[in-house]
């Protein structure tokens, strides 16, 4: 009996020993699997980082040929943004989540994608601009009674209880509620009691209709061009599309000196445009541009930017509701002093023409997953003579520059300049 009990005990011990060994082996296998998985993740991350670096180097090399880069932006059916994925977000120490070109479209599954969120605080904007800045809705939870986010596109108007003012008439960044009407034009009542118009319709078109951008699960718009490596409003002032206007103001180079049309014998048909210099470095130039604020439409902004940006005139006597024809008429006055009394039939006689050369998405370093820049660019061309030299001053940081292949402009601006040159058959 004792022998049988002893054998049973030994058998049970052996079974327990085998089970312990199996468990130990299983734990060893799990550890090895985890280490292999971690190694594979590290390898994948390193490959992505190497790919991101190589892609960055390729983009840098391509940027050395602005003309090729602009032509690429013109021909791509769905441009892949590059500046919007720059590693360091402008004006901050924030680094974007690396996004390779293949991972930009939202349709592509990218499980590792985990970008940080940044929205510039309202108080860091210029004081007179703060009342136009959309609040940081991602700071608040749906259960917050102090801050409600609602979507009522069927309403014709809503109240924007934005930054109120204190006893010293200074803006205070306290929002009671915020009712954005995405993909729509919205009439709002501002804290000062005045009404303003917010156009949140995209300038991007699909089949000649405005693109309907999507709203993500947090209730904010999603960049239609794909991932940028950063969530939030960023440095922009509005969730979703931020509208801008730019002007390609052009003339024939020889016209400045001789008053004659370019293209005569011995002359190359070269065009020159007005650029705004942003700093001491002549390479930091751009087309004259302006932000379309509440209460202004793009055509009024296009005229007011001419006065404020180029001519440095503080008193802007420009109506806020200009239509397209009124904007074109406004720019015609710089072809001749007599143009103010003429109609469109006189434009050709004075060598003046105006045409839109671009309207849509702008690849900008400030773009994020939830806020992005869109721009409308017009070309105003003066074939025979113009009056700009009488208006521009040396201290205005504005200059004429000959259109060439190495202009220090962003790809979309240079693409617009190339389009204008193509229209007027100018050599580049």
Q: What is the pTM of this model?
A: 0.74
User: What confidence score (pLDDT) does residue 264 get?
Assistant: 45
Distance CA 64, CA 83 (A): 14
Does 103 reside within a domain?
no
Query: What is residue 147's predicted lDDT score, i.e. its pLDDT?
Result: 36
pLDDT at res. 72: 53
Q: Choose the final residue of a domain: 36, 67, 98.
A: 67
User: How many domains does one find in the chain?
Assistant: 2
Query: Do the beta carbons of residue 184 and residue 199 sit within 8 Å?
Result: no
Q: Using CA atoms, how far apart are residues 417 and 360, in angstroms rounded to an integer? A: 15
Residue 115 · residue 144 · CB < 8 Å: no
As a whole number of angstroms, the distance between CA 189 and CA 159 comes to 5
pLDDT score at 397: 74
Query: Does a structural domain hold residue 32?
Result: yes
Report yes or no on 363 lying in a domain: yes
Which of the listed residues 12, 43, 67 is the one where a domain comes to its end? Answer: 67
Dihedral of CA atoms 89, 358, 417, 367 in degrees, nearest 10, equals 0
Residue 221 resides in a domain: no
Please tell me the predicted confidence (pLDDT) of residue 189. Answer: 73
Q: Domain for residue 400, yes or no?
A: yes
Question: Quick one: the chain helix, strand, coil %, rounded to 5?
Answer: 35, 20, 45
The CA distance from 380 to 190, in Å, is: 34
Q: What is the pLDDT along the chain (428 residues), one digit of tens a residue?
A: 567 766 766 667 677 777 777 788 888 887 877 777 666 655 655 555 555 455 555 555 555 555 555 555 555 555 788 899 988 999 999 999 999 889 999 999 999 999 999 999 999 998 878 878 899 988 764 443 333 333 333 333 344 444 444 455 444 444 446 788 999 998 877 666 777 788 999 999 999 899 999 999 999 999 999 999 999 999 999 999 999 999 999 999 864 444 455 544 445 789 999 998 876 555 678 899 888 876 678 888 888 877 777 776 655 566 777 889 989 988 888 887 665 555 666 677 778 999 999 999 999 999 999 999 999 999 999 998 888 887 776 546 788 899 988 888 988 999 999 999 999 999 88
Q: Is residue 173 in some structural domain?
A: no
Tokens linked to 239: 């969730």
Examine the fold and report which residue of 42, 67, 92 is the final residue of a domain before the chain moves on. Answer: 67
Separation CA 274–CA 339 (nearest Å): 21
Domain range holding 6? 1-67
Q: What is residue 43's predicted lDDT score, i.e. its pLDDT?
A: 62
- H or E stretch at 148: strand 148-149
Residue 325, domain CATH:
3.90.79.10
**Spatial distance between the Cα atoms of 160 and 311, rounded to a whole number of angstroms:** 34
Q: Is residue 216 part of a domain?
A: no
Distances (CA, A) of 160 to 131, 140, 188, 193, 291: 10, 17, 6, 10, 20
Which residues, listed in sequence order, are joined to residue 188 by a DSSP beta bridge? Answer: 158, 196
Asked, for residue 22, whether it belongs to a domain, the answer is yes
């Amino acid at each position: 009996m004792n022998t049988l009990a002893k054998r049973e005990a030994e058998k049970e011990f052996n079974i327990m020993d085998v089970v312990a060994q199996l468990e130990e082996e299983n734990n060893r296998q799990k550890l090895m699997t985890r280490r292999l998985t971690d190694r594979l993740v590290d390898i994948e991350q390193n490959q992505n980082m190497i790919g991101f670096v190589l892609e960055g180097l390729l983009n840098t090399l391509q940027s050395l040929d602005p003309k090729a880069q602009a032509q690429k932006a013109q021909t791509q059916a769905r441009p892949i943004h590059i500046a919007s994925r720059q590693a360091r977000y402008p004006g901050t120490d924030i680094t974007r989540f690396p996004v390779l070109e293949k991972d930009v479209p939202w349709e592509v599954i990218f499980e590792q994608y985990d970008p940080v969120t940044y929205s510039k605080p309202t108080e860091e904007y210029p004081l007179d601009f703060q009342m136009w800045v959309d609040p940081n809705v991602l700071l608040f939870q749906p259960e917050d009674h102090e801050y409600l986010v609602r979507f009522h596109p069927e309403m014709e108007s809503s109240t924007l209880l934005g930054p109120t003012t204190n006893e010293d008439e200074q803006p205070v960044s306290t929002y009671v509620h915020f009712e954005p009407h995405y993909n729509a034009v919205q009439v709002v009542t501002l804290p000062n009691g005045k009404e303003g118009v917010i156009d949140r319709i995209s300038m991007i078109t699909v089949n000649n209709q405005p693109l309907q951008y999507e709203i993500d699960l947090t209730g904010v718009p999603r960049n239609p061009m794909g991932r940028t490596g950063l969530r939030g409003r960023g440095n922009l002032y509005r969730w979703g599309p931020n509208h801008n206007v730019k002007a390609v103001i052009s003339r024939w180079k020889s016209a400045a000196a001789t008053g004659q049309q370019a293209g005569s014998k011995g002359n190359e048909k070269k065009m020159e445009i007005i650029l705004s210099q942003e700093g001491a470095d002549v390479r930091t130039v751009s087309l004259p541009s302006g932000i379309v604020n509440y209460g202004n439409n793009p055509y009024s902004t296009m005229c007011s930017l001419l006065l404020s940006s180029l001519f440095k005139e503080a008193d802007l006597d420009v109506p806020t509701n200009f239509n397209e024809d009124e904007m074109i008429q406004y720019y015609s006055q710089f072809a001749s002093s007599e143009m103010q009394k003429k109609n469109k039939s006189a434009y050709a006689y004075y060598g003046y023409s105006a045409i839109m050369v671009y309207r849509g998405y702008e690849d900008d370093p400030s773009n994020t997953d939830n806020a992005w820049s869109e721009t409308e660019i017009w070309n105003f061309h003066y074939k025979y003579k113009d009056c700009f030299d009488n208006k521009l001053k040396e201290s205005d940081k504005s200059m004429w520059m000959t259109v060439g292949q190495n202009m220090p402009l962003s790809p979309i601006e240079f693409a617009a300049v190339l389009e204008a040159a193509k229209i007027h058959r100018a050599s580049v």
